[in-house]
Structure 1
Amino acid sequence: MKKTLLYIVLASVLFMGETQAQQTATDALLARRLTLQETIDLALGSSIASKQAATNKTSSYWQYRTFKADYKPQVTLSGTLPDFSRSIIPVIQPDGTTDFRAVSLSNSDVGVSISQAVGLTGGQLFLTSQSQRFDDFNQGIRRYNSFPAIIGFRQPIFGYNALAWNRKVEPLRFQESERQFLEDRETIATVATQRFFDVLLEQVNYEMATKNVENNQALFKIAEEKHRLGRLSRNELLQLKLSLMNAQMAKAQASTELKTVAMQFAAYVGLPKGEKVAVQSPTVVPELQVEEQVALEQAQRNRKERFQFERKVLQAQQQVAEAKGKGGFNADLYATFGLTKSASNFSESYARPENQQQVILGFSVPLVDWGRQKASVKTAQANLQLTQYTVEQEQTAFEQSVYTQVNQIELLKARLQLTSSADSIAQERYDITKATFLVGRISITDLNIALQEKDQARRAYITALQDYWIAYYRLRALTLYDFELGKSLTP
C-alpha cells in the first residue's frame, strides 16, 4: 500500500509541471501570438491578396471614370505649325506649253473645338473656331482664312447607338466591381481563417506531442522502479520505452510541421519575413441564427450577381442591336453652319465674316450579302437566348449555394458542440486511465488507447472549430451580410 502511494505521489510531482513546460516549449518556438480577429485585420491590411483586391477596385474605378468622360464636353486644340514645302512643279503656260517652276509654300492652321456626345441619339454636337495661314515665298503672297465659329451636328440614322448601350451596361459593371471588392475582402478573411486554424491545429499537435513525451518519460521512470521491485514485467517496460520513443519522434515531426505552416501563415497575412508567430484559440464562437429566406434575400440584394446577371443579358441584347444596326440600311447626317472670311492680314480675316452652310446625308444599303447580315443577327439572337438560359441556371445554382451554406452552418454548430463535449470526456477518461494504470489495475495497452482517443478528440474539436469559423466567413462572403451584428456589409 505504501509503495502504491509512493508511485502516485511521484507521478503527481512529475506531471505538475506539464502545463508550464508545454507553454515554455511553445513560446520558445513561436514569439508573436495573434487572435483570429488580429489575423484577419492583418490579412486585410497587409497581405498581397488585399493589395490585389484594392488594385482591381482602383482599376475598375478609372475604367468607369473613362466611360463617364465620354459623355462630357471634350475640348481639343489642334493645328499644323508649319507645313512647309519647296519643290519644282510643272505649270501650264498661257500658250499651252508647260514650264517647270520652283515654288516655296507654307500652310499653317490652328483651331479649338468643343464636342458633346448625345447619348440618347448617338450623335455629336460640336463647335469649332479655326484660323489658316498661307504663304507663297516666291511671289511674296500671304493670305489668312478664318472660321470664327462653326457649329455642327453628326447623327447616325437607323444605326447602332453604342453610347446608349454603354450607358446601360457600364454602371452595372461598376456596381459589380464595388461588390467584387467586398467579396474579395471576405474571401481574404476566409483564407486567413483557414491559415489561422492550420497553425492552431499544428500548435495543438505540438503541445500534445510535448505533453505525451513528458507523460511517457514520467511513466517510464515509474515503470523502471516498478520493474526493479518486480511489480512490472520486462515486456511492459519495453513497451513503455517504445511508446516514449514514438512520442519523441511525433514531437519532432510536429515541430517541423508547425514551423512550416507558421511560415506560410506569416507570408499570407503580410508579416515581416522571419518573424515567428503563434495563434490563440478563439474563446467565443458566434451564436448564429440564420434563416434560409433572410440569407437568400441578403445575397440577392448585396452580391455582385445582382448586377452581373442583368449585365450579361443586356450585353447579349447589345450584340443583337449591333448586328442589326451595322449590317442593314445605314445613313449619316452631317450638318454645319458657320462664319468664314479670307483676307491678307489676320485681323481683317475676322471682320464682317460671311456665313457658310453644309449638309451631307450619306447612306449605304447592302444589295447582295449572301445572307451575311441575317446570319449575324440570328447568331446574336441565339447567343441572347443562350445567355438568358445560362443566367437562369446560374441564379438557381446561386440560390442553392446559399441554402447549402445556411444548412451547413447549422450542422457544424451541432458538430462543434458534440466535439467539445467529446474532448472534455476524452481528457477526463485519460486522466482516470492514467491514475488507474499507476496503481497497476490496467495494462499499458489500455493507457495507450485512452491517450490516442484523447488526442483524436482534441484534434476533432479543433477541426470542427475551424470548419465552423470558415463556414461563418463563407456565409458572410456569400451574402455580404453580418448575421452576428445583423447588418449589411455593403455601403
Structure 2
Amino acid sequence: MNKINLYKFSLKNCPRPMRNLVFQFGQRQTGQRQTGQRQALPLRFCAFCLFLSISLHGQTTQLTLSEVVEMAKNQSISARQASTTKETKYWEYRTFLSNYKPQLTLSGNLPAFSRSFIEVRQPDGTIQFQPIRNNNSSLNLSLSQSIAATGGSIYATSQLQRFDDFDRKNTLYNGTPFAVGYLQPLLRFNSFKWDKKIEPLKFNESQQTYIESLEQIALRASGLFFDLLLAQVNLQIAETNLTNTQNILKVANEKYELGKNTRNEILQLQLELLKARKAVGVSKRDLEVASLNLKAYIGLQAEGKIELQTPVQPAALTLSSERAIEQAFANRSDAIAFGRRTLEAERAVAKAKGDNGLNATLTATLGFSNRGITVPELYRKPQDQQTVELQLDIPILDWGRSKSRTKTAEAQRQLTQYTVEQDKQNFQQEIYTQVTLFEMLRDQLSLTVQADSIASEKYRIAQDRYVLGNLSITDLSISFTEKDQAKRDYIYALRDYWGAYYKLRQLTLYDFETESKLK
C-alpha cells in the first residue's frame, strides 16, 4: 500500500469524532517540520492515522439527526438510485435536443455484389435467363436540419454510385455532386412543435422529482433515527429501572428485617426486579435491530455502536398555509405535471385530427448530377437536376373511423382536464392539512416536555417517600410507569414533529428555516 492509499485508508476508517483531531495533528506537524523532514513526515502522519483507526475500532459513533439525514442523502442506496434516475432523464433530454440540431449522415452499400440468373425478355417475346455477375456500390453523405415550426426538414446531399460488370469488364460511375432539397408534410400532425412544448416540462419535472426523492430519503432516515433513539432511550430506562429496583429491594429487605413492611411487598419488588431484567434484555435486542436498520439505510460501514443525540426542542417556525401552497406550486414536480398532462391531452387531439384528414408530403430537390467512367468525370460540367414530388393520401370511406378517433381524443382531453382540477384540489388540501398538523404537533411537543419534567420529579419524590416509609409499593410502581411513559411520549412527540417537518419540506421543496428553495 503506497503512502497516499495508506492515508486515505486511515482517514476512511478513523471514527468521525476523531477526524478533526487527526487534521489538527497534521496541521501542527506541517508547521513544525524542517526541510530535511519533508519526505519522512507523510508516512509518520499516515501511520498515526492508521493507529487511531485501529485503536478506536469498534468505538461508539455519535450522530445527530442532521448528520444522519445528510449521510442518507449522500451515500444511501436510495440516493444513488435517485441520482441515476436523474442522470437518465438528463440524457433523454439531451436526445430530444439533438433532434433539433443538424444531422450529418453517411450511408451506403459497400459492397453490393450479385451473382445470379435474371429474367431477360427476348425480342420475339420469349424469356431467357442470363447469368450476371456485378457489383453496384453506393455512398450518400447528407446533412439535414429539422424545422420545428413547420414540421418539415431541409437537407443537402452528395451521392456517388459505382457499377462493376465483371462479365464484360466494364465500370461505370453515377453521382450527384451536390443537391439541396426540402421535405414538407402538408396538413399533417407536427410532432416537432408539440415535443418542443412538452419535453422541457418533462425535464424540469424530473429535476424536481430528484429533489423530492432526496426529501423522501430524509423523511425515511429521520424515522429510522427515532426508531434507534427510542430503542436507546428504552434501554436507558430499563437499565435505570433495574438499578433503582435493586436499590429499593435492598432497602425493602432492611425494612423487612426490622418488621416495617410485609412479605408481600418483598415479593412484589422481586417480581419488579425480574421484569426489569427482562426489559433490559428486550431493549438490547431492539437496540441492535434498530442500529442495523439505520446503518444499512444510510450506508454507514463503520463497526461499533451508534449513540444518537436527542434533538433539542426546535425553535418555533411561523408558517402559513398560503405561503406553503404558493411554494409548492412553484417548486413541486406535480405542479409542473399539471401543465404537462394538459398539453399531452391537447397533443393527442391534434394528432387525431392531423392523421384523419388529407395527408400530403411535398418534396423538392435542386442540384447537379452526372455520369462517367471515372470519378473525376462526374465533377466536369455536371448536368442540372430537379425533382418535385407531391404524395397524397386521401381517406374516402373509413366508416366513421376518423371521426371516432377525434371524438375519443377530445373526450380524453376533457377527462384529463377534470382529473387535473381534482388533483390540484387534493394537492392544496394535502399541504393545508400538513401545515395544520405541523402546528398541532409543535404545540403537543411543548406540552410533552412539561409532562416529562413533571413525571421525573414526581418519581424522585415517590422514591424518597418510599424509603421514608410513607408510600406504598403500588404507588411507587405507578410513578415508575408514569415516568417511563412520559419519557417515551417525549421521544414520540419529537419523532412526530420532525417527521411532519420533513414531510412539509417534501411537499413544498422549501426550507422554512432559511426561507429558501431546496436544490
* TM-score, structure 2 normalization: 0.87
Report the counterpart of residue 67 of structure 1 in structure 2.
Answer: 96
Change over 3 Å in CA distance of 1:83–1:437 after alignment to 2 = same
Residue 384 of structure 2 is aligned to residue 355 of structure 1: yes
Q: Partners in 2 of 1:95 and 1:293 — Cα distance?
A: 93
1:284 Cα shift? 4.6
Report the counterpart of residue 378 of structure 1 in structure 2.
Answer: 407
1:122 to 138, 145, 151: 151
Find the residue that maps to 2:184 and give its secondary structure: strand
Q: Partners in 2 of 1:410 and 1:29 — Cα distance?
A: 41
Residue 109 of structure 2 is aligned to residue 80 of structure 1: yes
Residue 216 of structure 2 is aligned to residue 187 of structure 1: yes
1:92 Cα shift? 4.7
Q: Partners in 2 of 1:367 and 1:259 — Cα distance?
A: 76
Q: Partners in 2 of 1:465 and 1:443 — Cα distance?
A: 34
2:268 to 227, 230, 239: 239
2:322 to 290, 293, 296: 293
1:414 Cα shift? 0.6
Q: Partners in 2 of 1:207 and 1:98 — Cα distance?
A: 103
Residue 284 of structure 2 is aligned to residue 255 of structure 1: yes
Find the residue that maps to 1:351 and give its secondary structure: coil
CA deviation profile, 1:15-56 (whole Å, cap 9, x unmatched): xxxxxxxxxxxxx99822211111011101110110111011
Find the residue that maps to 1:106 and give its secondary structure: strand
1:39 to 46, 49, 68: 68
Residue 467 of structure 2 is aligned to residue 438 of structure 1: yes
Report the counterpart of residue 298 of structure 2 in structure 1.
Answer: 269
Report the counterpart of residue 19 of structure 1 in structure 2.
Answer: none
Q: Partners in 1 of 2:506 and 2:482 — Cα distance?
A: 36
Determine if contact 1:267/1:273 at 8 Å carries over to the other structure: no
How does 1:26-425 map onto structure 2 within 5 Å?
31-92=60-121, 100-272=129-301, 275-425=304-454
Determine if contact 1:147/1:338 at 8 Å carries over to the other structure: yes
1:102 Cα shift? 2.8
Q: Partners in 1 of 2:436 and 2:275 — Cα distance?
A: 41
1:251 Cα shift? 1.2
Residue 501 of structure 2 is aligned to residue 483 of structure 1: no
Residue 498 of structure 2 is aligned to residue 469 of structure 1: yes
Structure 1 range deviating more: 341-350 or 79-88 = 79-88
1:96 Cα shift? 6.1
Determine if contact 1:299/1:479 at 8 Å carries over to the other structure: yes
Determine if contact 2:136/2:162 at 8 Å carries over to the other structure: yes
Find the residue that maps to 2:233 and give its secondary structure: helix
CA deviation profile, 1:90-139 (whole Å, cap 9, x unmatched): 54556666554432111111121011111111111111101000111111
Letter in 2 for 1:414: D
1:278 Cα shift? 2.5
Q: Partners in 1 of 2:360 and 2:122 — Cα distance?
A: 45
1:224 Cα shift? 1.0
CA deviation profile, 1:142-167 (whole Å, cap 9, x unmatched): 11111011111111111011111000
Find the residue that maps to 1:469 and give its secondary structure: helix
Determine if contact 1:266/1:275 at 8 Å carries over to the other structure: no
Report the counterpart of residue 21 of structure 1 in structure 2.
Answer: none
Q: Identity rate of aligned residues, in percent?
A: 46
1:389 Cα shift? 0.6
Runs of at least 5 residues in structure 1 that lack an aligned partner in the other structure: 1-27
1:88 Cα shift? 3.3
Q: Partners in 2 of 1:461 and 1:74 — Cα distance?
A: 65
Q: Which has the higher contact order (CA 8 A, sep 6+)?
A: 1
1:350 Cα shift? 1.3
1:80 Cα shift? 0.9
Letter in 1 for 2:188: G
Find the residue that maps to 2:111 and give its secondary structure: strand
CA deviation profile, 1:337-377 (whole Å, cap 9, x unmatched): 11100011110111110111111111111111111111111
Determine if contact 2:58/2:303 at 8 Å carries over to the other structure: no
- Size of the aligned set, in residue pairs, is 464
Find the residue that maps to 1:363 and give its secondary structure: strand
CA deviation profile, 1:210-234 (whole Å, cap 9, x unmatched): 1000010111111111111111111
Q: Partners in 2 of 1:97 and 1:430 — Cα distance?
A: 118
Find the residue that maps to 1:290 and give its secondary structure: coil
Find the residue that maps to 2:138 and give its secondary structure: strand
Q: Partners in 2 of 1:55 and 1:111 — Cα distance?
A: 38
Q: Partners in 2 of 1:376 and 1:246 — Cα distance?
A: 73
1:287 Cα shift? 2.4
